[in-house]
Structure formats: C-alpha cells, structure tokens
A and B are shown apart, each in its own frame.
Chain A
Amino acid sequence: MDHTKTFFLDGQEIPFKEGQTVFDAAMAAGVYIPHLCHNPDYEPHSSCRLCTVIVNGRPFAACTQPAVAGQMIQNDTPELREMRRTLTQMLFVEGNHYCPTCEKSGHCKLQATAYDLGLQDNHFPQFFPKREVDASHPDFVLDRDRCILCGHCVRVSRDVDRKCVFAMTHRGIKTEIVVDSPTGLLKDSRLTMEDEAANVCPVGALMPKRKGFQVPIGERPYDKAPIRVDSVKNFRIREERRHG
C-alpha cells in the first residue's frame, strides 16, 4: 500500500491513499470526525454536515472531500465544535427526540454524538412536528418523528437490498420518509428482517419490534465507549476485514 502522501489534520500528519476522502484517511489514522449521515460501509452523501472541516481555509464535508497532499485541515477546533453542536441541536428540535423513553437510547448515534459534543440542551424552540407513525408491519415500527433524514434506509434499500423500499418526499423542513407499497404502509412493503436497510437506522426511527430492552441499559455500545472511540474502533475493524 502506498502511504507516502500526507496531509495535516489539526497539525497531525495523516497518510492517505490516492482517491481516499479526508474522512476515511482521518478515521484510519485514529482521528474521529463527528458524523451522522455517513456510514463507512456505504457511499457518503454529505447531508448532515457534521463532518465539516476547514480545508486550506475553506469549509468542506470531510466525508466527500478527496484528500490532497499537503492540505492543511482543521477538525477539532472550538469553532467547529460549536457549529457541530448547533447542527446537532437543529436535528433535535426539528424532530421529537425523547431519549429517556426511546428504546434506541445507548445505541443511538444522535444521542451519542450529542454527548460527545457536550450538548446541554436543545437551545432552539422545539418544532414539535406531527408526522405519521407506521406500526403496521409485524416486525418493525417507523416513527418519522425520530427521523434525522440521513437517508441510510433509502440508500441501502436501493443500493444493497435492491428493493427501493424507502424514498423521501416533500422538501425543506417538510421532507419525510415515504414507504414503497400500494398503501404507503410498511406492512404492504417488501421490507423483511433480512434486509440490510431494516437494520441501518442510526436513530430510533426504524426499530425492530419485540426487541425492547434485550440489551439492558448500561450495557449498550455507547454506554461502554463514547462514540468517538467506538466509531474509530469499528472503522479499523472494518478496514482490516476489507484488506485482510
């Protein structure tokens, strides 16, 4: 592997391979960049903007920005932390996220990222949207109020499962998930337990039924390790698996 090229991330020299993104190179080097809409298993699409870094003085999303030799990049600065905190607060207020009663708690990337960024409150007035809850499916519940519009279910159902069970409709603040079925309900869709899309939601929007509290509070992934440790570890395991 050719690791001769490098860029600088907060002063640290990071090696990268040609074609690698800033995000991938940083994570491979053990440097965490906060992110919510990106999962290294799939193509990035840079919508949550939490991974915004400053490349040679200009902001870019790290998950889609190709690494270039010699770049000076800022990642963990007070200003970027503050912006990421605000972006996370935005996600909290546009939906209805009640961690204490949510089964995803301790397993939820939005919650874990909020902890990581030191979020103390939602800051902005809540929007309190009233979006449709779809509990029609025997195995899943779709609670649109908890959706952060990361698009994972849409992309994975389309690109991996080849079923296109999910899509987005409307636009702007009214954007929401729409299910592909004659009735628009999950029960009439082609979603099954085996689908990768069924297990990819980073928050509590698409949840399996009858699994509540199988893993006790206190033993869930982000109870054990903060997201910055957990995601770097998982990124490395994945890289090792991929490259032997």
Chain B
Amino acid sequence: MPHATVAPVQDAILPILQRYDRDPQNLLQILVEVQHALHCVPPEAVDLVADHLGATRAHVRGVVGFYAFLSDQYLGDFVIHLSDNITDRMLGNRELAEYLCSRLGVKLGKVRADGRVSVNFTSCTGMCDQGPAALVNGLPVTRLSRERIDRMVELITARTPVSAWPTEFFEVEDNFRRSDVLFRRPFEPGSAIQAAMLRGGDETLKDIQLEEALDPASGKLWKRGADETLKELYRSDLRGRGGAGFKAAIKWETCRDTAGGERYVVCNADEGEPGTFKDRVLLTSYADMVFEGMTVCGYVVGSGQGILYIRQEYWYLKPHLEAVLARRREAGLLGSNILGTGYAFDIDLHWGAGAYICGMESAMIESIEGRRGKPRKRWPLPVVAGVRKCPTVVNNVETFAAAGMIALKGGAWFAAHGTMHSTGTKLFCVSGDCERPGIYEYPFGVSVREILRDCGGSSAQAVQVSGPSGTTITRSEFDRVLAFEDLATVGTMMVLGPKRDMFELVENFSHFFQHESCGLCTPCRVGTSLLVNLVDKVACGKGSPMDLEEIQKLSHIMKTTAHCGLGQTAPNHLLDSLLKFRTVWDARMMTTEFEPAFDLDEALEEARQLSGRDDAEAHL
C-alpha cells in the first residue's frame, strides 16, 4: 500500500506549500498538513519542505522529531492513537488496547507488515468524560468498548475510509451539566464588541462610524471605549483561567503600553493538562464568545491579529471553527472594518502537533513561529516580546470567553460572583469515578465536596485537582475550596473511587511527564526519567525506603532548578502521594533495606552475546 514514493509526495506537498506562502514561520502548519496527507513526513518531504522554505533539513527534522503527532515513518493507512490518561486506564483502555491489537494482528507501537494499520498510545486526548477514547486518522472516537472495536476492525479490514465510517463513531458530547452566570444564556455575536466600543458614553455605533478620524491613534471615541473597557476588566479582577491566575487586565495594559508596531492576541487552546476538556466544549458550543473576547482584547490593546493555538487532538473541530470565523467575517465582526468602525482584526488558527509543553506561553510562541516548542528564556516576557518579538497577550480560552462577557456586562457584575481574590465563575472538568462526568460551571469558592455531590462522586477516596501537575486531595480535605486562595486550578477534577489503587496514578503521571519533557533543561530532561525509573522500580517490587527518599530529593531539585512550570510541577503528584498515600508505596516494598535497580544476570547478557556463550557458567 501507499508507502510514499517521490511523485505522490510532491503532488501532496506543493499545494500545501503554496497555501502557506512558503513562509518558514508556517513550517509546523505545513508539516501538520503533510502528516495528515501522507500519514508521515518522509525524508523526501523533509527535503522538499526545507528547499521551498529556505530552511535547513536539520531544522525541519528537528521540528518533526519534537512533536508526537509528526512521524518520519509511515504510520499506516489507519493510524490509531489510544488516549492514555489515568481516566482512560480506569475505564479499561489497557485491556481494550490488547484486544484491539490482537484483533488487528498488530504489535503496539508498530505498523502492521502490510502497512494497513498502527496502534499507539498518546497523552490524554481531552475526552475524559466519555472515554476510553482514541483518535483514528486524527478523528476522535469515544466510549471505546469491545463491540466498538469489533466494528472498527471490520471497517479497517474492509479498507473503508474513515470518512465513510458511521458518524456515531465520532460523536462527541458536550456534557455541560451545570451552568452559572457566564454560560447560562446564549451569547449574541457582536454584542460584546459593540458594548466595548460604546463603553463610557451614550453615543450609538453610528456616531463612531461617522467619526471622521477612524484611525485608532486619533479616534477619540475609539480610544475612550478601549480605555473604559480596560477599566471594566480591572474592576472585574479577572484572573487567567489557565491555572496560574495572572490578572488579565495587567497583561492587556502592559501589552497596550509596550512600544512596538504589531501586537498579537493569542488564545491558548493547547489544553494539554490530562483530564482537561473545557476548551474543547467552549470551542464547540461557545466559539463566538471566545472569538469575541479575543476581538475585544485586540481592540483594547491595539492589535490587528489574533491567533488561536489549538491542540492537534481537536483537529476535528477545524471545519466548525473555520465556519464560525467565516460567518463572523461576513457579519462584520472580524476583518478590515469591524461593525463599520474601521477597526481591523482577524483570527488565524494554528495547530499544535502533540506537545504538552506548548501550553506554556513562550513554548507556544516558538511553536506558532514554526519551531520546536521549547520555552524561551525567562525574560523578556511574551507580553513585552512575544510573537515575532512583538507585544503579545496570551490568555486561556476560558479567559477570553469571560473577558467578552465582562466587556458586555461590566466588571462589577463579574466581580459580584466568586470570592475576594478569585472573582467570577470557573468551568470544572469532572471525570473519573462519578455518575455524571462533564463540565460544571460554579462561582469560585465552591468546595470539592459540593462538586463531588453534584457529579455523583461522593464516595471518592481522592480527587486529582488541576491535573497531574496539580494537587491530590484526600477525603479529609474535601471541604477545601477551589479558588486562588486555596486550590488554584485549571479546572480539572479527576475523581478516584474508593477501590482505586492510588499507585496507578503516580505510574501514569510520572510516565506522562517523562514523555512530555521538552528536553531543554537538565533537571526536567533527566529528572523525569530518573523519577520514572524509581517509580517503576517500586512498581516491580524492588523498591526500598531509600528510593522514596531519592524521589523526594529529586523532586525538590526539579522544583527549584527546572526552567519552566513543566519541570517545576512534574514531581507534585509524587510528593502528594508519598505524603498522603504512603501505604500504597509501603505495600510494594519487599524489603526495608536497599535493593539494586538492576538485575546482575541480565546485565551480563551483552557479554554473553559477544562471547557467543549461553551455558550455565555464563549465568549467575
């Protein structure tokens, strides 16, 4: 089958290069499209892309090598990626993977000899409330079961193209279980931009349109609307919804006040934190609100260009998002003359390609510019020198949605909800052992217990708050509240029922961080692997108390010296587990003394092979 040959590679790639203007900054976008077209980025594609972009082959190979969804090997006519978050494991994905592989006659991680199909694990695909999940040729399949797998195997055997598979395979539910003030009522497209432009006066849109100087530098009404909207944002005290909680108004004002020609508004839809899926729901059902928030931001900071950086796992949303953007352009809500005022702003989609690190601001900007998603130096901050070294606002999807509503309804309205230091409402992504997994909107300050009650998960022994990089909460802590004052969170709540083996959590999370470390800094690159080795050592019954001390020591070093948040938070789950679930570690100890990590006899294997011996004397 189509092991790519030179001619088809050219035929596939040239139009893609054309579409992306042969711009080296579009390298990642080009490679993503090549991967979708050919199910690999073969060496001749690397050569061709490098030649046309004026980039080196090494650079292109480096980018291909960095992102998990780009591959230099042909991955088969049908490429299956099984989501491997702890919630997928709790729903039996490992057993299903075995079943799938045996039915297909394929080895996990390998392409079948006839080139038909490959099966691989991948980090969480953001379908935790409807798992176990998979991606087939980039499209999400949810609620995997043996029956569903049987049907998939039939379709693959019959070579039925994915486009002809029954649509129910690809149905993705919102599962929006509880809405509060932000998402209770439908959003009227255009209403927030109009409110922003008119804020602080009693003119109508017509007055702005008639104003002689439509240039933002001199337009009086124009400037007043932007300034007043920023004041409302200050009044709202809106903090970033990505988890860190930086105040949005400070970011916007800094961007506005930093000298520089162009400015960029970047919406972070990388949503890589396992267990998180709110951005997927927002972009599915509230895309207008998100785009409107970005447009308001552009208007306030003086930017003409927005970028939605969205993770590859949500590729299936591409037609939908493009349609929403097209509709907004037609309605005069994007483009060169927004609401007839002369204000120009548009939004491009940029696709990730499988890299958790790209959720980190400066790594995302590197990725937007077509490079490996490696975090930049700490200074200058992206808000001062971000995309193409221009002042750049990077906010989470949910932050933009909230900002749009603040522009519409005012800061005081927003600040009336939530707590003193965490205003407004927050979306929570609930998954795991509960009756009603899905999205829940609550005012900040809600307790873990209340959410567990509402989702039908009250019997939980623990909740993983804010994903693997967050905090493990035990029963005695269920009255703690979700707010920046106590438990800061991106909104992820993975519920662990009373029968779960809490050690499986640390196994899953430690491997996740090892896989996602970008490799830039020593403590994270090597530390995540050392931690995995120690966890695996304990898992196979060879652990000793010394190893647990070692985990703590390494964790401390990583938290202190790692370059970015990934390495600094990667050991959190281990420290929590050792503190709160020590018994699951102790139960795996065979000895209280030291145990070596390696098998001495196994270590002699290479010597045996070299000497051609395998007799009893050559073994211990």
Question: Which residues of chain A come closer than 8 Å to B64, judged between CB atoms?
Answer: 169
User: Among the listed stretches B134-142, B209-217, B519-527, which one makes contact with chain A, having 4 or more residues with CB under 8 Å of it?
Assistant: B519-527
- Would you call A170 and B65 a contact (CB within 8 A)? yes
Residue of A nearest to B519 (CB): A175
Known: A124-B530, A173-B514. A166 touches B58 (CB 8 A): yes
Question: Which residues of chain A come closer than 8 Å to B597, judged between CB atoms?
Answer: 125
- Would you call B377 and A149 a contact (CB within 8 A)? no
- The interface bits of chain A over 148-167 (1 if a CB of B lies within 8 angstroms of the residue's CB, else 0) are 01000000000000001111
Question: Which residues of chain B come closer than 8 Å to A149, judged between CB atoms?
Answer: 519, 525
Known: A49-B562, A64-B378. A172 touches B523 (CB 8 A): no
* Cross-chain contact of B378 among A61, A90, A124, A178 (Cβ < 8 A): A61
- Would you call A52 and B58 a contact (CB within 8 A)? no
Question: Which residues of chain B come closer than 8 Å to A45, judged between CB atoms?
Answer: 377
* Cross-chain contact of B66 among A52, A169, A173, A181 (Cβ < 8 A): A169
- Would you call B557 and A47 a contact (CB within 8 A)? no
* Cross-chain contact of B561 among A49, A170, A181, A184 (Cβ < 8 A): A49
Known: A87-B557, A125-B598, A169-B62. A47 touches B57 (CB 8 A): no
B533 within 8 A of A: yes
Determine the distance from Cα of A49 to Cα of B520 in the docked complex, in whole angstroms: 10
- Would you call B59 and A180 a contact (CB within 8 A)? yes
Determine the distance from Cα of A83 to Cα of B521 in the docked complex, in whole angstroms: 14
The A73-128 residues at the B interface (CB cut-off 8 A) are 83, 86-87, 90-91, 93-94, 124-125, 127
- The interface bits of chain A over 118-143 (1 if a CB of B lies within 8 angstroms of the residue's CB, else 0) are 00000011010000000000000000
B423 within 8 A of A: no
Determine the distance from Cα of A57 to Cα of B313 in the docked complex, in whole angstroms: 40
Interface footprint category on A: 35 or more
Question: Which residues of chain A come closer than 8 Å to B61, judged between CB atoms?
Answer: 167, 169, 178, 184
A31 within 8 A of B: no
Determine the distance from Cα of A47 to Cα of B518 in the docked complex, in whole angstroms: 11
**B471 shortest CB reach to chain A, Å:** 21
- Would you call B514 and A48 a contact (CB within 8 A)? no
A210 within 8 A of B: no
Interface footprint category on B: 35 or more
* Cross-chain contact of A59 among B515, B518, B561 (Cβ < 8 A): B561
Residue of B nearest to A43 (CB): B377
B529 within 8 A of A: yes
- Would you call A93 and B526 a contact (CB within 8 A)? yes
B517 within 8 A of A: yes
Known: A164-B58, A167-B56, A168-B62. A64 touches B377 (CB 8 A): yes
**A206 shortest CB reach to chain B, Å:** 14
Determine the distance from Cα of A178 to Cα of B372 in the docked complex, in whole angstroms: 13
- Would you call A90 and B521 a contact (CB within 8 A)? no
- Would you call A182 and B47 a contact (CB within 8 A)? yes
A66 within 8 A of B: yes
Question: Which residues of chain A come closer than 8 Å to B521, judged between CB atoms?
Answer: 46-49
- Would you call B522 and A172 a contact (CB within 8 A)? no
Question: Which residues of chain B come closer than 8 Å to A64, judged between CB atoms?
Answer: 377-379
- Would you call A167 and B62 a contact (CB within 8 A)? yes
- Would you call B58 and A172 a contact (CB within 8 A)? no
Determine the distance from Cα of A50 to Cα of B522 in the docked complex, in whole angstroms: 9
* Cross-chain contact of A46 among B378, B516, B525, B530 (Cβ < 8 A): B378
Number of A-B contacts (CB under 8 A): 123
Determine the distance from Cα of A52 to Cα of B553 in the docked complex, in whole angstroms: 17
Determine the distance from Cα of A94 to Cα of B524 in the docked complex, in whole angstroms: 12
- Would you call A182 and B57 a contact (CB within 8 A)? yes
Residue of B nearest to A164 (CB): B56
Most buried by A among B57, B515, B553: B57
- Would you call A44 and B377 a contact (CB within 8 A)? yes
Residue of B nearest to A190 (CB): B56
A3 within 8 A of B: no
**B513 shortest CB reach to chain A, Å:** 9
**B44 shortest CB reach to chain A, Å:** 11
Question: Which residues of chain A come closer than 8 Å to B518, judged between CB atoms?
Answer: 171-172
* Cross-chain contact of B519 among A83, A125, A173, A181 (Cβ < 8 A): A173
* Cross-chain contact of A83 among B47, B514, B557 (Cβ < 8 A): B557
- The interface bits of chain A over 167-209 (1 if a CB of B lies within 8 angstroms of the residue's CB, else 0) are 1111111110011111010000000000000000000000000
Question: Which residues of chain A come closer than 8 Å to B528, judged between CB atoms?
Answer: 172-173
- Would you call A170 and B519 a contact (CB within 8 A)? yes
Determine the distance from Cα of A204 to Cα of B483 in the docked complex, in whole angstroms: 51
B231 within 8 A of A: no
Question: Which residues of chain B come closer than 8 Å to A8, judged between CB atoms?
Answer: none
- Would you call B522 and A173 a contact (CB within 8 A)? no
B563 within 8 A of A: yes
Known: A124-B530, A171-B355. A87 touches B525 (CB 8 A): no
Residue of A nearest to B532 (CB): A173
Question: Which residues of chain B come closer than 8 Å to A182, judged between CB atoms?
Answer: 47, 57
B560 within 8 A of A: yes
- The interface bits of chain B over 550-572 (1 if a CB of A lies within 8 angstroms of the residue's CB, else 0) are 00011001001111000000000
Residue of B nearest to A189 (CB): B58
Determine the distance from Cα of A172 to Cα of B517 in the docked complex, in whole angstroms: 5
Most buried by B among A83, A179, A180: A180
* Cross-chain contact of B57 among A124, A168, A181 (Cβ < 8 A): A181
Determine the distance from Cα of A184 to Cα of B72 in the docked complex, in whole angstroms: 14
- Would you call A171 and B519 a contact (CB within 8 A)? yes
Further contacts, 7 of them, CB under 8 A, given A65-B379, A94-B526, A124-B530: A46-B378, A47-B563, A49-B563, A52-B560, A61-B378, A167-B62, A180-B58
A-B contact pairs, 19 of them (CB 8 A): A45-B377, A47-B522, A47-B563, A49-B561, A87-B523, A87-B561, A90-B522, A90-B527, A93-B526, A167-B61, A169-B66, A171-B372, A172-B514, A172-B517, A172-B525, A172-B528, A173-B528, A180-B58, A180-B59
Which 7 A-B residue pairs are closest in the complex by CB-CB distance? A169-B65, A180-B58, A175-B519, A90-B526, A167-B58, A172-B517, A167-B62
